[in-house]
Amino acid sequence: MKLFEFAREREWVPITGYLIYVSALTAGYYYNLTFVQLGLTDLGTQKIGMPPGDVSIVMAILALLTLVAAVVSGVLMDRRGWSTDLYVKFRLLFLIVLTQLILTVAAPHVSTIELFVLWVIVCSIALGVGIPVSFSFMLDFVPVRDRGYVAAVVAGLSFFVAALYPIEWRIDEFSLVMSAMMVPAVLVLAILSVKRFRFVDTLASQHERDAFGTGRFCRPISVRTASFAFWGPVLLMFGVFFIDSLGFLRIIETTLYIYTSWQSPDLSVRLFIAVLHVVGALAAGVIYTNFDRNWLFLWVFGLFAFTHLLYVFHIQFGAGDTPPLVLPMFYVLAVSFYTTLNFALWPDLSTPETIGTHTALGVGIAGWLATFLSTSLALYSEGIGLSLLSHLTYVNALALLFVVTLPVLLYVHRMVELARGGLTP
């Protein structure tokens, strides 16, 4: 790892960049994972008393507006050169975190549907702008060689903390935890936004160094936005996020499964899940760094298909029995794998001139749009009374479809390339 070289040579400024990146992305993902995805569902259904179908519509609005805000801000950042201006990104991040802090404090006091919708609209804008700002930090702070490992640390830490605290997935709990985390972040970002520091000046120019900046999949030829090399991963990551949320939201609504795993009163169970998240993320980091990214996609879709199949078997043949830990174990591994891939992939498909647009499209479509559209669909299926068995059977079929589709798409793409080049396989 390049990090070890920096440590041996006592280059502390680049190491500071690692710490800033891991801290910012871990906190941001923990916020989205807990407060936004789980907390808002609780706010709408339990606090306000909205039917699941109505909450699903609001969540769909959140996804679409976040995507629009991400793409607009990402394109604007690239065109105005903000993607390579670290001080501008610090100022934008300060405004984003300050807005989210205000929203987080206000969330438990939202009591009407109108206020809920207004809250979601403002939150969508902040989240959308935050996507290209935060993901572009990897070009500034993390060398290409280390991106898989650093992405693994971010994913592992985020899930480790989320698996242990808070125990109750309620909007009041999430609001308290996130507010306490955001206050010091706002203060630090406020200082970085108004005052120049020598170490920040050094960090701001790192993207120009050969070890940083341009991603591994853009060397030697840059990946164009309008290309299969970019939209292929977008489609695959959309499928990953969609399958995950579609299955997970129904599983955690089932008392038998949620209280024997993610919300178990037994600390050892939750600690097992937390540690497994870290192990899965580190394994994904190693695979991402040393193998082609398509291997990770195959692993993820295969794990999801196998996991949902296990849940289907347990529902059919083990109903009423305490679910074995092997069920959440495979789910945790799949989630850690694809989350690591998500953090590293988009910067590695980008150059300093395209990082804003590519991360906005990649994370906005494959992450936010897929997650919250599937969240909406899961809430809708619950609202119409679709059984958990039928729901997970559909999800499993979708995962298996992607397992089969991935090698077919790669084969077709290769044949098209060979045909254009006038070559024979």
Residue 410's domain comprises: 2-420
Say which DSSP state 197 is in: -
Whether the CB-CB separation of 313 and 393 falls below 8 Å is answered with: no
CA atoms of 163 and 92, how far apart (whole Å) = 30
Q: Is residue 187 part of a domain?
A: yes
Helix, strand or coil, per DSSP, at residue 268: helix
Q: How far is CA 327 from the centre of its chain?
A: 22
CA atoms of 154 and 25, how far apart (whole Å) = 7
Confidence at 130, pLDDT banded by 50, 70, 90: very high
Say which DSSP state 185 is in: H
For 397-415, the pLDDT digits (tens) are: 888 887 777 777 777 767 7
CA atoms of 396 and 311, how far apart (whole Å) = 10
CATH code (residue 174): 1.20.1250.20
Write out the DSSP string of 113-134: HHHHHHHHHHHHHHHHHHHHHH
Please tell me the predicted confidence (pLDDT) of residue 185. 92
Please tell me the predicted confidence (pLDDT) of residue 421. 65
For 56-73, the pLDDT digits (tens) are: 788 888 888 999 999 999
Burial category of 226 from C-beta neighbours within 10 Å (exposed 0-12, middle 13-18, buried 19 and up): exposed
CA atoms of 299 and 327, how far apart (whole Å) = 17
On the question of pLDDT at 228 being above 90, the answer is no
Give the pair of three-digit tokens for residue 392. 């997970």
Give the pair of three-digit tokens for residue 332. 């945790």
Q: Which residue has the higher pLDDT, 416 or 332?
A: 332
For 197-221, the pLDDT digits (tens) are: 888 899 999 988 888 989 899 988 8
Total structural domains in the chain?
1
Q: Is residue 376 part of a domain?
A: yes
Whether the CB-CB separation of 26 and 154 falls below 8 Å is answered with: yes
Mean pLDDT, the chain, whole residue set: 87
CA atoms of 146 and 237, how far apart (whole Å) = 21
Q: Which residue has the higher pLDDT, 316 or 176?
A: 176
pLDDT (mean) for 301-307: 82
Tokens 């698996």 locate to 163
For 146-159, the pLDDT digits (tens) are: 999 999 999 999 99
Say which DSSP state 219 is in: S
Q: How far is CA 16 from the centre of its chain?
A: 23
Q: Is residue 151 part of a domain?
A: yes
Q: Is residue 425 part of a domain?
A: no
Please tell me the predicted confidence (pLDDT) of residue 425. 39
Q: Which residues contact 416 (CB under 8 A, 6 or more apart)?
A: none
Q: Is residue 66 part of a domain?
A: yes
b/e burial code for range 311-334 (CB count within 10 A of at least 16 → b):
bbebbeeeeeeebebebbbbbbbb
Task: Specify the range with the lowest mean pLDDT, choosing from 7-16, 105-114, 285-294, 348-357.
Answer: 285-294
Rg of the Cα atoms in the chain: 21
Alpha helices in 81-112 (DSSP H): 86-106
pLDDT (mean) for 176-193: 90
Q: Is residue 56 part of a domain?
A: yes
On the question of pLDDT at 322 being above 60, the answer is yes
Q: Which long-range contacts (CB under 8 A, 24 or more apart) does 114-122 make?
A: 116/43, 116/44, 116/48, 116/50, 116/58, 117/58, 117/61, 120/40, 120/58, 120/61, 120/62, 120/65, 121/61, 121/65
On the question of pLDDT at 311 being above 90, the answer is no
pLDDT (mean) for 68-83: 94
CA atoms of 28 and 190, how far apart (whole Å) = 17
Please tell me the predicted confidence (pLDDT) of residue 423. 44
Best CA proximity match to 364, nearest among 75, 122, 111: 75
Query: What share of residues in the chain are helix, strand, coil (percent, to 5)?
Result: 80, 0, 20
Q: Is residue 310 part of a domain?
A: yes
pLDDT (mean) for 221-245: 87
Task: Specify the range with the lowest mean pLDDT, choosing from 84-93, 199-208, 245-254, 339-348.
Answer: 245-254
pTM of the model: 0.88
Best CA proximity match to 179, nearest among 98, 124, 110, 94: 98
Give the pair of three-digit tokens for residue 400. 């298996």
DSSP run (H or E) holding 244: helix 228-251
CA atoms of 124 and 170, how far apart (whole Å) = 20
